[in-house]
Copies of this chain bind each other. A is one copy, B any other.
Amino acid sequence: MALPASRFQAALRLAGRSWTRPCLAPLRTGASWRAFSASSRWQLHTKEMHEELLSSLKVNQSRLMEDIHYTCQWGTGQKWGKEETETGMSRLALSDADKEARDWFVQTTKALGCHTTVDSMGNIFAIRPGIRNDGPPTFVGSHLDTQPSGGRYDGILGVAAGVEMLKVLADNWVETEYPVGVVNWTNEEGARFPISIVSSGVWAGAIPQETAHNLREVHPGTATMASELARIGYLGETPASFNNMPMAAHFELHIEQGPLLEMANKKIGVVKGVQAYKWLTVNVKGRDTHTGTTDLKSRADALLAASKMVIHSHRLATANGCLASTGILNLKPGSTNTVPGEVSFSLDIRAQKDHTVARMLQHIENDFPKIAAGEDILNSNQDCTKGLPCSITINQDFDSPATLFHPDCIEAVSRAAHSVLGENSKNLLLEMTSGAGHDSVYTSKRCPTSMIFVPCREGVSHNPAEYCKPEDCTLGAQVLLQSVLRFDRMRDERRVTWKQEPYTL
């Protein structure tokens, strides 16, 4: 039970309702569809709740944290502290561990009375009916997959907070005006199948399903997304599309993954958009030659050229006040006494503005071939021996323009945050732009969307030691719950999602 009974009953009295504590025996797994619209007279309707009653609906911190850590038994990663929960996560998308976490999600949401649908990208939509079911659900969404050396909060917090929302609504017999739902998106990280937020991308019609299905897992595996979806039993029959699974809105709670909230002593980030980014793959071709017999000037050393490019991209990012990062680098043939003839590396460019990313790309497309050819760019050849030229190709794998979230969703989050944070809320809130991409980038193209950030320790993420305090997880989940309830109440008024046609920005 999430609420201190006394406070909740007081709120009920204010609402002019009598209170009988509902039966809290756990629902059976696979319970039949709960007929909310035929439930007894004391059920709470979101639209009828006044502010104090609404605010008194609260998530249960210990239950939320238990869910997070319980699901982290599947894909447990590297240990970083003494406590049992002080380990990272390594739950690659569509792995056996991911299947276990998915099974938990399906069973848990079904037990809470949800209809659960799996689409052709393995996205799982759990929908809790509303009083009216003639409009699409308001969704909470995130992902259960992690980086190979990720943490326990990135994605997992958002899904667990969605499940906690369902539990709070069930505990308190709350009926929403429209259905609400929780979605687990597939392969958000792009760590195993190398396009991130790929399955919300297919849902949004931005990425062809065939492209996604044919994505091969990163070296050295050979499986594809389609083969792994089928193998673990999550290749659903419903085509992945906003047409088949429309959303009234999409709210996502996430750790910030950066240091700004913590540094500013803030508790909640009201996320107004996501920075622009592009992912490139750069292939440098030189010539394999023997390290002992090939003098420096007779070498076409692909790694030496690639090293200059990695540094050059960092210099360009410094000059343009944006980000450039190489997270993957593979070389061939890979032998101590052979000069590498081929290097392929990733380049991730991000900036607040689309035009900054475009300018970075222009510099890279202009300068990298020159570096490969042996020309000096910004002193890149200082004190070096001029060798033989390498050739180069640059492919753009992914492009996500700057995203602006929807004012109605931002307003719902903002109101919820002020309510949750209380009197000092102004000092605890930060309006911000997300540095990372999230599935909300794609949902925002088809329905009103916003995000909620909570601080994580030292801004560290994609690291086993990623950490978010239980009280911060709870605050975030509380803002998420309140945002969804507030949005549910706003829907008729704003007519945001009445129309049957899919929402387009």
Q: Which residues on A are within 8 Å of B, measured CB to CB?
A: 147-149, 189-191, 194, 196, 218, 220, 256-259, 275, 277, 279, 287-296, 298, 301, 303-304, 306-308, 310-311, 314-315, 317-319, 323, 325-329, 331-341, 346, 348, 350, 378-379, 382-385, 434-437, 459-464
From B191, B319, B378, B437, give the contact of A292 (CB < 8 A). Answer: B437
Cα A334 to Cα B327 in complex, Å, equals 6
Cα A59 to Cα B147 in complex, Å, equals 60
Contact in complex: A328, B319 (CB < 8 Å): no
Cα A317 to Cα B292 in complex, Å, equals 12
Contact in complex: A295, B333 (CB < 8 Å): no
A-B contact pairs, 8 of them (CB 8 A): A147-B338, A289-B459, A292-B323, A293-B459, A296-B323, A306-B307, A327-B337, A336-B346
Cα A218 to Cα B335 in complex, Å, equals 9
User: A190 — which chain B residues lie within 8 A by C-beta?
Assistant: 335-337
Contact in complex: B327, A339 (CB < 8 Å): yes
The complex is assembled from copies of this chain, and their number is 2
- Min CB distance, A216 to chain B, in Å? 15
Cα A84 to Cα B437 in complex, Å, equals 50
**Residue among A288, A314, A379, A383 with the most chain B CB within 10 A?**
A288
From B220, B290, B341, give the contact of A436 (CB < 8 A). Answer: B290
Contact in complex: A339, B325 (CB < 8 Å): yes
Mostly, the A contact residues are loop
Which residue in chain B gives the minimum CB-CB distance to A318?
B385
Cα A271 to Cα B58 in complex, Å, equals 82
Cα A453 to Cα B279 in complex, Å, equals 47
Which residue in chain B gives the minimum CB-CB distance to A348?
B291
What 10 pairs across the A-B complex have the smallest Cβ distances? A258-B293, A293-B435, A291-B325, A307-B307, A292-B436, A257-B293, A149-B333, A288-B463, A292-B435, A338-B462
- Min CB distance, A486 to chain B, in Å? 27
Contact in complex: A275, B292 (CB < 8 Å): yes
From B194, B338, B340, give the contact of A336 (CB < 8 A). Answer: B194
Which residue in chain B gives the minimum CB-CB distance to A322?
B296
From B287, B291, B314, B383, give the contact of A327 (CB < 8 A). Answer: B291
- Min CB distance, A483 to chain B, in Å? 22
Contact in complex: A319, B189 (CB < 8 Å): no
- Min CB distance, A466 to chain B, in Å? 9
From B307, B341, B462, give the contact of A463 (CB < 8 A). Answer: B341
Contact in complex: A314, B384 (CB < 8 Å): yes
Cα A370 to Cα B194 in complex, Å, equals 35
Contact in complex: A257, B290 (CB < 8 Å): yes
Cα A383 to Cα B332 in complex, Å, equals 30
- Min CB distance, A413 to chain B, in Å? 19
Contact in complex: B314, A311 (CB < 8 Å): no
User: A318 — which chain B residues lie within 8 A by C-beta?
Assistant: 296, 383-385
User: A311 — which chain B residues lie within 8 A by C-beta?
Assistant: 304, 307-308, 311, 384
Contact in complex: A257, B292 (CB < 8 Å): yes
- Min CB distance, A122 to chain B, in Å? 20
Knowing that A341-B463, A379-B379 touch, tell me 4 more A-B residue pairs with CB under 8 angstroms. A289-B459, A327-B331, A327-B337, A378-B383
User: A327 — which chain B residues lie within 8 A by C-beta?
Assistant: 291, 303, 331, 334-340
